[in-house]
Structure 1
Amino acid sequence: MNEESLPWRVVQTRSRSEKKTAAYIQAMGVKLYLPLQKRKKQWSDRTKVVEEPLFPGYLFAQFEEGQRYPVLNTPGVVRIVSFGGEYASIPDAQIDALQNFSYLDNEVLVVNNELLSGQEVLIASGPFKNLSGRLVRHNGKGKLLIEFVALGQGLLVELDRTKLILR
């Protein structure tokens, strides 16, 4: 099977072991993506910018059926996320949008006072273009919590209203 046609799977890892687990899986020749974000951490004696997983406890991998058991047996892997007996699959467009986002230092997303919780939304432009999810919370000040269904996790983002399409 061609690597381009392989679906992106969601791999759950042990807490705070995403980077090490990703290194083990990559060493097996599996294509993977671990979205990271830069955060400023404050200690009593210094401030440091560190890279942390955008989705703690999860990474994305493309692998053939024959590689499933080696991936599952990798140190740090808890499971391959599935719903109703089917492995969760992430569209290439969403992985591409996350990869584009990782190159930015600032968060980008939508301001819309007419949004209601539970609405399906699609990002029309910017680094999250073609990324879709469900609006969980909107505080009226430009901050949105969008749940990406395949992960079952939310991502707090800020957007310009013109970048959002309601589905």
Structure 2
Amino acid sequence: MLTSTRISSWYLLQCKPRQDERAQINLLRQNYTIFCPKIVSRRVVNGRSLQTVEPLFPGYLFIQLSRDDKWAPLRSTRGVSRIVDFNHGPAIVPDDVVEHLRTRCLKSSEIHTAQQFRPGETLQITRGPLSTLEGIFLTMLGDERVMILLHFLNREQPVRIPLTDIQRPQLSL
């Protein structure tokens, strides 16, 4: 008696333009296992700092399928454009790549909950050629950099600094 082994792999789906969320909802309704990596980022909109959750790969979703799964309904699922393929077959995404993306997305959310600067807040540069200078926080640039406004050489200059090279100024007595 033969038993079916359901070895599944991850594949990449391309969504129709601006229909990522629609594709996710329709795939979940059909009981597919999907993954849409999202990261937390900060943006300044109308002078206010907002924390947003954005897809890491807009227009694409990962889907986990085995040979026994129904592949045909994917072509007619609303929001889905196609299965990404290479060499005349669906491109398999290694499990460790998907796991790495899950970890990265989790770290992104931890960074933004642990270290939140407000626009206008004074920050001190702790490393590099500009160390000991203070600047005004403007915005986050992705997960690892910030933009601050420095008063330098009789001008105000926006400067990009790694997040690890700044901190709130230490109070001295």
So what's the TM-score if we normalise by structure 2? Answer: 0.55
2:64 aligned partner: 62
1:36 corresponding residue in structure 2: 38
| Greater fraction of residues in strand | 2
* 1:77 partnered with 2:67: no
Q: Which has the larger radius of gyration?
A: 2
Secondary structure of 1:10's match? strand
**Count of residues in correspondence between the two structures:** 109
| 2:103 partner SS | helix
Identity %: 25
Secondary structure at the aligned position of 1:98 is classed as: helix
Instruction: Give the drift of 1:2.
Output: 4.9
Distance in 2 separating the partners of 1:39 and 1:15: 22
1:100 deviates by 1.0
* Cα deviations by residue, 1:35-68 (Å, 9 ceiling, x for unpaired): 0011223322633211111011111001245521
Give the secondary structure class of the aligned counterpart of 2:77.
coil
Q: Check if 1:102 corresponds to 2:105.
A: yes
2:54 is aligned to 52
Mapping for residues 1-167 of structure 1, pairs under 5 Å: 2=5, 5-44=7-46, 46-65=48-67, 66-105=69-108, 106=111
C-alpha deviation, 1:6, in angstroms: 0.9
- Which consecutive segments of 4 or more residues in structure 1 shift more than 6 A? none
Range moving further from structure 2, 13-22 or 76-85: 13-22
Aligned to 1:164: none
The aligned counterpart of 2:150 is none
Measure the CA separation in 2 of the matches of 1:21 and 1:90.
19
Distance 2:19 2:44 in 1: 21
Structure 1: where are the runs of 5+ without partners? 107-141, 144-157, 159-167
Gap change, CA 1:2 and 1:58, over 3 Å in 2: farther
TM score, norm. by length of structure 1: 0.57
CA separation of 1:27/1:52 partners in 2, compared to 1, >3 Å: closer, same or farther? same
The aligned residue for residue 168 of structure 2 is none
